[in-house]
Amino acid sequence: MEKLAPLTFIKSNTFDELSKFLKTKNYSSYFILCDENTLAHCLPTLITKCKLLTDAEIIEIESGEENKQLEIVANIWQTLIDFNADKNSLLINLGGGVITDLGGFVASTFKRGIDFINIPTTLLAMADASVGGKNGIDFANIKNVVGTITQPKAIFIYDNFLSTLPQRQYSNGLAEVYKIALIANKKLWQNLSEKREAKIIETSVGLKQKIVAKDVHDKGLRKILNFGHTLGHAIESFLLNTENPLLHGEAVVIGMLLESHIAFQKKMITKEIFIEIETVLCTHFNIEIKEKLGFENLKPIISNDKKNSSNKIRMALITDIGACTFDVEVTEKQIINALNYFEGNATKRN
Amino acid sequence: MEKLAPLTFIKSNTFDELSKFLKTKNYSSYFILCDENTLAHCLPTLITKCKLLTDAEIIEIESGEENKQLEIVANIWQTLIDFNADKNSLLINLGGGVITDLGGFVASTFKRGIDFINIPTTLLAMADASVGGKNGIDFANIKNVVGTITQPKAIFIYDNFLSTLPQRQYSNGLAEVYKIALIANKKLWQNLSEKREAKIIETSVGLKQKIVAKDVHDKGLRKILNFGHTLGHAIESFLLNTENPLLHGEAVVIGMLLESHIAFQKKMITKEIFIEIETVLCTHFNIEIKEKLGFENLKPIISNDKKNSSNKIRMALITDIGACTFDVEVTEKQIINALNYFEGNATKRN
C-alpha cells in the first residue's frame, strides 16, 4: 500500500504535535493560506500556540467555492514568488475544502512541487477533503477538472476549530460522514445519531484513508468514494452561478438520494433500504432546493465528469448500507426517473 | 530505482513501434499537441504512417518559449473539455521542448492527470527535454516556475524529424548534448566532433535517463543536470522580453562557459580544462549576445531559481570534464568575475 500523509489529532493545548513535526523538517519559510473566516477564528489560535509560525507569511483569499479558480491560483503563485518562497518552503493550508483543494494544487505545481500540510477547520475538510491527496480547481464551470493527486506531508486535526463553524457548514461536512458510512460501514451509519464528534471524525477519516491507501491513483476501489458525487457534483456545478448555490455537502446529500434511487431501480438495494436512506437523509439534512433541476441542465456537466469515459455514464452505487461498487453503467432514463422521483417528492414536502 | 518512461527509437518506416504501443493501451481518444512547424513538417508523417491517429484531434499552438504560459495552458484545457477528453484520453506531444514541457503540464493536471507520450522533433527535445518527466510553464518572467514532475507513458524518437530542423534549432539541442558530456562522460565529449547523430542522441539520452532514474524527484544527484542552467536560465529569462531573445541551448552554452569559469575560480578545475571548454564551446557555438548582461539584471532571476533556497546561490559545478557535483555555494563576486571575463572577451571577439 502506498504511503499516505500521517494524520495527527492535536490533543495538547500547546500544539506540541505540530511544533514537533515542524522542528524535524527544517523548512526555510512558512506560508499560511487562509480565508477571512479562518483568518479571524483559527489563525490567532494557530500562531499563538505554535511559536514557530509567528513569522509565517499569511496569504488570505476570499472564502467560497467560486474562488477555487485559476486566477486565484495565479495570485498565490505570484505571492509565493514575491515573498521568495523556495523549494524548501512549507505551505500550510488552514481552512475548509476550498483552501485544502486550492492550496494543495498551488503547492503541487509551484517550483514543481513544494511541501504542504493541511490543518482542516471544517467538518467537511476534517472528515474528507483534507485526506487523500486529491486537489484541484474548478475550470470552465466544471468542478475540480484541473488538479493533481499529491499527498500532503501531514494532516493535523484540531477539533476545537469546529466550534467556530456555523450550523450550515457543519451539516455540509456531515454529508461526507454519512457517505462514508453508507459505502463502507453499517455500524457507523447506525451510530451517527449519537454525534460524538471526535469519535465520528476519527472513524470516518480512518475508513477513508483505508480505501485511499488501496488505490491512491483512483483507478479502482477509490472510486466508491464518488458515491453521491456524480449527480451531486453536477447539481453543485449547475447551481454555482445561480442565486441559490448549494454547499458541496448539500449537493452530495441530494446526489446520494438520487443515486440510491438509481441503485433501487437497478435492484441493487431493496425498497426498504432505499426508504431507510431517504428517511434518514431527509431527517438530518435540509434537502430543499429552489431551482428546478432537470436532466438537460445536468447532462453536459455529467458527461464532463472525470469519472466518465467514452460517453458512457458510470457511477459508484451502493449494494447495501455499508457496501458499494463502482463503474456501474447507468442510463439517462434511470437518472431522469430518479430526478422525477426527487422533484415529485419535493412538491409533497413543500 | 524508480520507473521511467520507456524510450523507443522508431526505426521502421511504418511506425510499428508506436502503433504497437497504442494498441496495447486502448485509449478512448487521441489529442496531438503541435505548433505551426510540427504541424507542417512532422504531423503529416505521423498520421500517415500511424493509421490509428487518423482521427486524432489536433491542438495547434504558436511556437516559441514566449507561449509557454498559463493562458495557453488554459486554452488547451478548454479545448480538451470542448472535445470531450476523458480520463482515458491520450495527449501526444509532437514538438520541441516547449511542446513537451507545456503538454506534460497540461496532461499532468487535466482531470488530475491523463496519460501523455512525447514524440520530440528537435535535437533539444530528443536529447534532453522530453526525457525525465519535468514539465512546466514560465510565470512572472521566471522559467518553469510552475510545473510538475510527471513521467510520460512513453517516448518515441524518430530521428528523421531532425532533417526538418533549421541549423539554429539544431545547435540549440547540441548544447544539452555537450552538457551531458561535460558532466558525465569524457569520452562522449571527445567524440562529439564526429557527429554521428543517432549514436550521439542515444548516448546522451541514455546518460540522462541513468542520472534521472537515480533521483526522479530532484533531491540530489539529478541536480548535476542543472550545470550551466543557473546562469543560463537567468540569461534566457532576462533576454526573453528584449529584441534579441536567445534559444534555451544558446543561453545554456553561455551558462556553461560562465559556470566553468566559476569552477575554475574555485579551483575545482584547472586553467587548462577551462581553456579547453572555452575553446570547444566558442568553436562549435555562436556565443555572441547583443544585450549587455550585468549581474544586477540577473540577480532577481537567480534568487528565484528553483534550485536556490534561503537566499544562498548554489550551483552544479564540474570538477573535471565528465564529472560534476551539486549544491556548491557560489558568491555574488564569483558570478560577477565570470560575467566580466565573458563580456571582456566578447569585446575582443568582436
Q: Do A112 and B88 touch (CB under 8 A)?
A: no
> What is the ipTM for the molecules in this complex?
0.87
Domain boundaries, chain B: 7-165, 170-349
Quote the minimal CA–CA distance from B68 to chain A in Å: 15
Report pLDDT for A200: 87
C-alpha cell at A225: 468514494
Count Cβ–Cβ pairs < 8 Å, chain A vs chain B.
99
> In A, what residues contact B, Cβ < 8 A?
28, 70, 74, 77-78, 81, 84, 86-88, 105, 108-113, 134, 136, 139-140, 142, 144-149, 217-218, 303-304, 306-311
| The domain defined by B7-165 carries CATH number 3.40.50.1970 | yes
Residue A93 and residue A35: Cα distance in Å, rounded?
Answer: 10
State yes or no: pLDDT of A53 exceeds 90: yes
DSSP A104-169: HHHHHHBTT--EEEEEE-SHHIIIIITSSSB--EEETTEEEEE--B---SEEEE-GGGGGGS-HHH
Q: Do the two domains A7-165 and A168-349 of this chain adopt the same fold?
A: no
pTM listed for this prediction: 0.87
State yes or no: pLDDT of A15 exceeds 80: yes
B78 contacts on A by Cβ (under 8 Å):
139-140
Closest listed residue to residue B25, CA positions, set B86, B120, B89: B89
User: Other C-beta atoms within 10 Å of B44: how many?
Assistant: 11
What ranges in chain A are assigned the alpha helix state H? Answer: 16-25, 36-41, 43-49, 70-82, 97-109, 123-124, 167-184, 186-191, 197-213, 229-240, 248-265, 271-284, 295-303, 332-349
C-alpha cell at B325: 557535483
Of the candidates A28, A140, A148, the beta carbon closest to that of B81 is on A140
A142 contacts on B by Cβ (under 8 Å):
81
To probe the interface with A, which of B80, B111, B304, B313 has the most A CB atoms within 10 Å? B111
State yes or no: pLDDT of B332 exceeds 60: yes
Contacts within 8 Å (CB) and 24+ apart, A276-285:
A276/A321, A277/A182, A277/A321, A280/A178, A280/A189, A281/A178, A281/A253, A281/A256, A281/A257, A282/A257, A282/A349, A284/A171, A284/A174, A284/A178, A284/A192, A285/A171, A285/A174, A285/A175, A285/A250, A285/A253
Confidence band for B256, pLDDT divided at 50, 70 and 90: very high
Q: Are B123 and B173 in contact (CB under 8 A)?
A: yes
C-alpha cell at B205: 539520452
Confidence band for B165, pLDDT divided at 50, 70 and 90: confident
Q: What is the mean pLDDT of residues B162-181?
A: 91
Q: Give the model confidence (pLDDT) of A241-261 as tens digits.
A: 888 899 889 999 999 999 999
Fold of B170-349: Dehydroquinate synthase-like, alpha domain (1.20.1090)
Q: Give the model confidence (pLDDT) of A175-210 as tens digits.
A: 999 999 999 999 999 888 766 777 888 899 999 999
Quote the minimal CA–CA distance from A294 to chain B in Å: 22
Q: Are A18 and A156 in contact (CB under 8 A)?
A: yes
Q: Do B77 and A145 touch (CB under 8 A)?
A: yes
Q: Give the model confidence (pLDDT) of A71-116 as tens digits.
A: 999 999 999 999 999 999 999 999 999 999 999 999 999 999 999 9
Residue A157 and residue A24: Cα distance in Å, rounded?
Answer: 19
Choose which CATH entry (1.20.1090.10, 3.40.50.2300, 1.10.3470.10, 2.40.30.10) describes domain A168-349. 1.20.1090.10
Quote the minimal CA–CA distance from B211 to chain A in Å: 18
Lowest mean pLDDT among A296-305, B94-103, B118-127, B192-201: B192-201
B140 contacts on A by Cβ (under 8 Å):
77-78, 81
Query: Computed from CA positions of residues A268, A274, A278, A281, in that sequence, does the dihedral angle turn out positive or negative?
Result: negative
| B33 bridge partner residues | B59, B93
Residue B281 and residue B204: Cα distance in Å, rounded?
Answer: 17
| Residue whose cell numbers read 533549421 | B166
Q: Which amino acid is at B202?
A: E
Residue B292 and residue A347: Cα distance in Å, rounded?
Answer: 75
Quote the minimal CA–CA distance from B149 to chain A in Å: 6
Closest listed residue to residue A48, CA positions, set A24, A76, A23, A18: A18
